[in-house]
Amino acid sequence: MNMRKSRQRLLENRFRLLSDDSREFFECSQKPSRKSLHVNTLKTTKSEVVSALEDQGFTLRQIPWASGGYWAEGSSLSDTVEYFLGHYYLQESSMMIPPEMLEPVGGDVVLDVAAAPGGKTIYIAGLMENSGCIVANEPNAKRRKTLRFNLSKYGVLSAVVSSTDFSRELKSSVKFSKILLDAPCSCEGQFRKNPLSWKQWSLAKIIRYSRLQKKMLANALELLQPGGVLVYSTCTLAPEENEEVVDYALKNFDDIKLQPIGKQKFKYRKGLTEWNGRKYSTKVEDCVRVYPQDNDTEGFFTAKIVKCAR
Amino acid sequence: MRTLKIMNSREKESLLKELQSKFGLDVKQFQKLVFMQDSSEIWISNKDCLTQELDLPVESVGLLLARKKPEMQLTVNAVQLYCSQTAKNTIQLDRNNAQEFIRGHKLTTEKPDGLYTMKYGGRALDLGWVEKTILKRKNP
């Protein structure tokens, strides 16, 4: 790790407290992440993509928790005709978990709060077979341009692109049956994909993001209809941005509860009920922590929140 | 901020006739879609998107199908979605030529001058323009 020694020590100490196998975490985080893709069923079939890529010398292996997800070995996945055709989207395998947890179905009205660059929106549109309505939201104009490009490239006909800033006070009465909040975060779980993020890590950043995430989650929950589902996710392992944010929501909204996800095809750990002298509701144990070494992926956090039906 | 108007059935029918004539499209593919337009662009989306009352700032709905100026032209995404079954004015490419074509490189062909749907396997890639045996991508 190439970072100031004091910051390095702080980071290492935090991860030692986060798990008993921090050595495995650091070892795994030094290795490059596995390349993975998700087949875009709006334009093609899984068998067509697998067959085409294997013909070109790629080796594909099905990702157990993602329908249409594959790890791929071989050079330059973004240089194929099939990639140009929008037949698959390059996406980290752990990022395929939130759309699957959301379980969107045809007819749903879905909000993707921080949609850019669009991978999860495209995934959701595929699960919904281009039916229903997905509001793909992104407040940053440059990122929104990328989002629109990707939605078009992958043939999404069911998306409305919106520019709402969920960090500010919202004046909206629209209600959604499903909401995905894959929140901006400190990206501690992405050290494998982006080695620069070691250098950019700081505790101040974590605290700033935590404040932002609480606002975004509170705003998103206001737009969730009774009986609706919100999946909150980040690619960081910092409890301040994860369990603390979910705990904040549980304390401020008396009509929501966490839904345990039960047995899954990936290894995961329970949410932490205390961190750095702060105690959280015991209900946050139903949150989901995925460390890089658990499934040889990037690190990840997610929570499935249900608003009680009236 | 742009304002798109939903096309009525007469406008939609007229547009589909034009697309069928120019690009050989099977218009049955568009039956369940809603068409919207302004002076320069035509957009399509599913019906569900337009039945929602959203009080959030909306920038776009669905997908850009075609640009009207300087002449009616399908976007690359529309070609890929809707021109795979086209038999009219097509050029079939092998993998190497398809890769050259999508990278923006020029190819040579014996085909007469004009607009073609470029195909790879059973898939439409994009529109190509042939002029004096030189073939290049029509969409930038």
In whole numbers, what is the pLDDT of chain B averaged over residues? 93
Chain B interface, best mutation among A105, A110, A151, A160, by max B CB count within 10 A:
A160
What element of type H or E holds B130? strand B123-131
Q: Which residues of A are catalytic?
A: 235
Which residue is it, tokens 């345990």?
A: A260
Question: What does the pLDDT read at residue A3?
Answer: 61
Q: Is the dihedral of CA A25, A29, A30, A34 positive or negative?
A: positive
Find the mean pLDDT for residues B73-87.
Answer: 95
Question: What does the pLDDT read at residue B2?
Answer: 73
Find the mean pLDDT for residues B102-121.
Answer: 95
Question: What does the pLDDT read at residue A22?
Answer: 87
Confidence of residue B19 (pLDDT cuts 50, 70, 90): very high
Q: How far off is chain B from A255, nearest CA to CA, in Å?
A: 24
Question: What does the pLDDT read at residue A280?
Answer: 98
Facing residue for A109 by CB, picked from B46, B52, B102: B52
Strand A69-73 to strand A36-39: parallel, antiparallel, or no bridges (unpaired)? antiparallel
Please list the ranges in chain A whose pLDDT falls under 70: 1-3
Question: What does the pLDDT read at residue A166?
Answer: 96
Taking one residue from A and the other from B, the number of pairs with CB-CB distance under 8 angstroms is 90
Confidence of residue B3 (pLDDT cuts 50, 70, 90): confident
Confidence of residue B46 (pLDDT cuts 50, 70, 90): very high
Query: For residues B36 and B66, is the Cβ–Cβ distance under 8 A?
Result: no
Give pLDDT tens digits for B65-79. Answer: 999 988 899 999 999
Question: What does the pLDDT read at residue B52?
Answer: 81
Length of chain B: 140
Q: Which residue of A has its CA nearest to B101?
A: A81
Which residue is it, tokens 């070609």?
A: B79
Q: Name which of A142, A181, A134 is nearest A160 in CA terms.
A: A134
DSSP A205-233: HHHHHHHHHHHHHHHHHHTEEEEEEEEEE
Question: What does the pLDDT read at residue B1?
Answer: 63
Q: Say whether the ipTM exceeds 0.85.
A: yes
